[in-house]
Structure 1
């Protein structure tokens, strides 16, 4: 399926000089345990004459001689697609007019999984009113569907003038928009002019409304124009769901980063040298403030490419890497760092920052070579704990005294017995039983992981880490669960060297959780 879509999309891009290429999927039929999905690739390219459509799927076929001169290719792409579709018991067709573009559609049957685990919806975005301002119908549809899937309430207009009217009506009705997503490049009145006008009309715009600016132009071109406007973030098209979610969470909750948790940060005497790869100025400022207050030295990289260059040029103890960045994202940057010839540089601990807590997003982070992750909005205590526990494995902690005796924040509890009790329907006895199960099993599983590493048994490491992760989840022991998730991934990838580097922190965290659970049992049991 991947090859089918790559060939169709690649073919569309090759013959489309202007306009767009849209890849879509929909349910065509659903009968019992089988579902037929229709994948379509639509472009606004040169189109295919009617007389050429019958032979377009034959090997070495081009539309005409002029096309061959202008566009390179083997001529095998669509023939391969037809063969792959046939092997998958599907069908393929096309609609096209010369000069108006083409639509290729593929229908393929699939077996329905008996159980499907859907990602949890982000409750913080639910019911937020959003206005989408874009003159491109395709962009409107994609954004509207995405936001609706997140339980948000999107409205769509096609011009800046219509947006001004809709915003005024919403304000007068007492239902103002929480978020306005604006296309930068629109006819008559562009996105920048719209935001300027809104800023004049609504003096408290920056306090009441989150404004996101989208553009297909070069980031630097419109970044400067945005800096003097109340724009929370700016994104380059095409925008992925992951990137949009990350930006929304950062824009909506960035101000939460530097308040309560920041005030609890206490300094240490010997800090680390930390590289922060983050493209959002507000986040840069807040994270720098947290870490510098703790006593660490900070260097900022504005994208993944800069982060790789900094790691090559200087020595750092830890890298804090945002996943979604322009030029080069955090996953790509991490992969490049892990491939560096200098082993010290290649093995530097990397902590991911992401707005997502979904399993697949965590897996992508760890698969790219990241050591841990922290979800946005960022809590200062968790950030410090991750940074300081993830520092370079060949180095030492700041000092035994500062690490053991000076509290990182006012509280560093490993577990949450209240949430465990809530899950058990308020039954304290069940929670105490769970705690005793943990005390019996967790140390053994921790030893099983260590033994599996020593014996070179990656599968045993994966199994034990998975089981320990489940025990940790019962008490929201996030630090332990994160460590187990990483070990589980290392076991799956047969990377026992990385797994071994995590053992000391794992044993220490298991011990800390056990101590808290013993105290809980003594108090409540």
Structure 2
């Protein structure tokens, strides 16, 4: 893996290479390199030839210009391109001038001024037109001097030849000094830049190390903060679970006893008091459920099931739960069910019930005359999925237009006095909207003050074939199953004395024989001692041994009729983690306290009578 600094180095090196390629690809530089090295090679050949022939002493000249021609490209590579080009032209022109003077006019060496002037054109591009003209002018000037001055007027003596000789040698030395001096300056500059780059790199590394330490410190602080938040979240979850359990346990006794007393043919004045008691208990339970659900939604702990269920039965059940309250107000309830809807669909029936309960509850609460209804329409369908619109309509007090945008916000009702008159936390619609949104649905509202409200809820569902079937129960392997609950045996595992009495009263009312165990340890012992029972109602939080451990031990019994007995959890904690733990321990189902007697009876029928 490349580090950031490695990538920078690679990019820098790549840029340098690209720059060199671009420089070499310039026509003037190519010509300069080729001409310089070619002339250096020619000068060396002439040097060798004249050294072998002592008659003409020109070796000093060819030695000097060969060195000059080799050094000129080096000067160009160091960035002094124009200087190198002028030196090349100067040496060529001077060389032609000297050779012509030595060998005379008859050798026609002066003819080389023509390619020398052409070379100026090749060395300098059109962007350096002025320099090109100077180069051409240099060749023309040398030719004029040679033709009109040297050939016709000047005759050099031996001493003057020595002066010219040392002049040329001096020029060669100066060129050499200039080239190596510039090379030395470039080298020193490169070393200086390298030192700067090194110091900058060290500074950056130091800064990077400090940033890394700072980042590690921040990560450590974030980790601690995360652990603190998780600890707080866990504590909050445990607090909610504990409070839910502690509040629901007495609520179970209150609602259960109220149900029993209502069915014992009370006097008219007693019935009214029991109805008030039942209404108040259910209102308190609704508030507890709202707070718990709102906390779970805010914490992101809401998950949805995908099980097959009968939609029409669910809708009838929702309306049935409000029928008693509606009948007291002479408000009829109705269901309009689309015939195109399938009998069974896949989704989360509990969350759908919760959404509809909130909406129908408000509709019944705020309607004094008229009617309340649910309309179910199939709006879209394909092979795997379908969409259903639920329309909940009422003829109640309605919602003013300026308040309709606020009605789905937390703890909001249309007027502050509404909560005093009708009660409620104002969380019901907030929870419903969040549940709808989380499932990819929509919820809309139409209302007119004094003329009622209509809520539209559209939700996606799976077709039955794509839904998971309800969790299958373990079959009871008794030899012969009874045709009714009468005479069946149920073990009640419950440590709370009040809840024991409430549950026993209901079970005995249905002619069920009850075997009581006050904790998990007693339940396991009694299961080994008595004959098989039809079902076990198992509390979860008990002394000595909780319901989870008791269930695991029952499932390990050698007697298959006993180990496969259906076990239904009795839980006051309505949290998802508790439900998952219930099924993980081997229980078949759960019943939330305070339990609804009809729901308890249905579960008993399902696991005792239907699972044959």
What TM-score results when the alignment is normalised by the length of structure 2?
Answer: 0.26
Q: Report the structure, 1 or 2, having the larger strand content.
A: 1
Higher relative contact order (Cα pairs below 8 Å, separated by 6+ residues) = 2
